[in-house]
Amino acid sequence: MSFELSARDGASATSEADKAPLLPIHDVPADAASPASSLNVGSSAATNNDTKSRAMQLLFGAGGIYASFLYYGSLQEDVFRYESEDGTKFTHAWYLQVLESLANVIFGTIALIVMGASSNSKNSVGLWWGGTPNLPKKPFVSSGFSQVCSKAFTSLALANGLSFPVATLAKSGKMAPVMLGSLILGGATYGLREYLQVLAIIGGTAILSMSKKKASTSESTPLGVVFILLALVMDGVTGGVQKRLLADMKRVQVTPQPYDLMTYTNLFMMLFALLISFVLGEFSQGIAYCASNPKVFSLIWKFSMCSAIGQSFIFYTVARLLVKVG
């Protein structure tokens, strides 16, 4: 997901800090040179502490994201490589998306409830369970649809014979279609520096990803290649749609919390995946396969938990450090 947010709490936190004395009265030396010098020293110390705190939060958030999604990718590979005793493999991609999205909805809701309890204790405006009042839900429909299609197409590519090294290489270039989609659908503009940064990230990610894969003699099927290309197209659509989503929120003067985005996007992802899995018959088939193969179900719920934990770390970082994520 690619969101760029402004903090709702940052301004209030700063104003409260400004009201408080920078040094306790009894700590100020009697022969201090001047009140101005004391203020400068206190302000500098506060700034340094804030910088260190933000750096630690960034390291914590980035480490959590990296660890979660590294294990996430490994589990996804294990799910689609699993083979039952009768030789059948798990191919129910839309059923998998139901479970993954459900895990994210649960985690996002818990985060909103915790934030709601914290907000109410501070007498801030918000719903009792932490959600943003008057938040439009319609923009999340298209965002949820495009993102669940991207994830499902990636799973379908793997289920239909795409080799894992090729899938890894293809998804390492995800930022390119996301940027393109933001340009075409979201009306974004980028400078040369942003383009160079994306190229550097794609190149570095591709090298790192491929270096972790052993040489594979397996070949990718044409259908698997088609599905991974569709996944990249939907990544681009998602980038543009999410850019418009935030623009729509700004237009109606509503600032969503990061966990609003996580919860509602995944809610509509789950609903679309549930509908499609029922239409295709995958929901009942997926349940039956998992009932007959508890090991693969164990892999799936771990995979879903990693997705939810990883997204939680992403939005934790967004909420505190105001960074772009993708």
pLDDT band for position 73 (cuts 50, 70, 90): confident
Among 62, 73, 65, 106, residue whose Cα is nearest residue 259: 106
Map tokens 């709601």 to a residue. 116
The answer to which of 50-64, 112-126, 133-147 has the lowest mean pLDDT is 112-126
Give me the amino acid identity at 251.
R
- Mean pLDDT computed over every residue of the chain: 77
The percentage of residues in the chain with a pLDDT greater than 90, rounded to a whole number, is: 33
Cβ–Cβ < 8 Å for 164, 158: yes
Condensed to tens digits (0 to 9), the pLDDT of residues 82-138 reads 999 889 999 999 999 999 999 999 999 998 888 765 555 454 555 555 678 888 888
pLDDT, average across residues 200-208? 68
pLDDT over 60 (residue 252): yes
pLDDT at 98: 97
Which position has the higher pLDDT, 42 or 293? 293
Burial 93-118, CB ≥16 within 10 A → b, else e = bbbbbbbbbbbbbebbbebbeebbee
Cβ–Cβ < 8 Å for 141, 268: yes
HSE of 219 in the Cβ direction (CA atoms, 13 Å)? 2
pLDDT, average across residues 309-318? 83
CB-count burial class (<10 Å; 0-12, 13-18, 19+) for 71: middle
pLDDT band for position 17 (cuts 50, 70, 90): very low
pLDDT over 90 (residue 178): no
Which position has the higher pLDDT, 171 or 223? 223
pLDDT over 70 (residue 306): yes
pLDDT at 33: 45
pLDDT at 20: 39
Map tokens 């990061």 to a residue. 258
Strand partners, 89: 83
The answer to which of 27-31, 188-192, 265-269 has the lowest mean pLDDT is 27-31
- Highest-pLDDT range among 40-54, 135-149, 180-194, 216-230: 135-149
pLDDT at 19: 41
pLDDT over 50 (residue 29): no
Q: Is 159 helix (H, G, I), strand (E, B) or coil?
A: helix
Whole-angstrom distance, CA of residue 326 vs CA of residue 323? 10
pLDDT over 60 (residue 139): yes
pLDDT band for position 258 (cuts 50, 70, 90): confident
pLDDT band for position 70 (cuts 50, 70, 90): confident
Whole-angstrom distance, CA of residue 125 vs CA of residue 142? 28
pLDDT at 106: 94
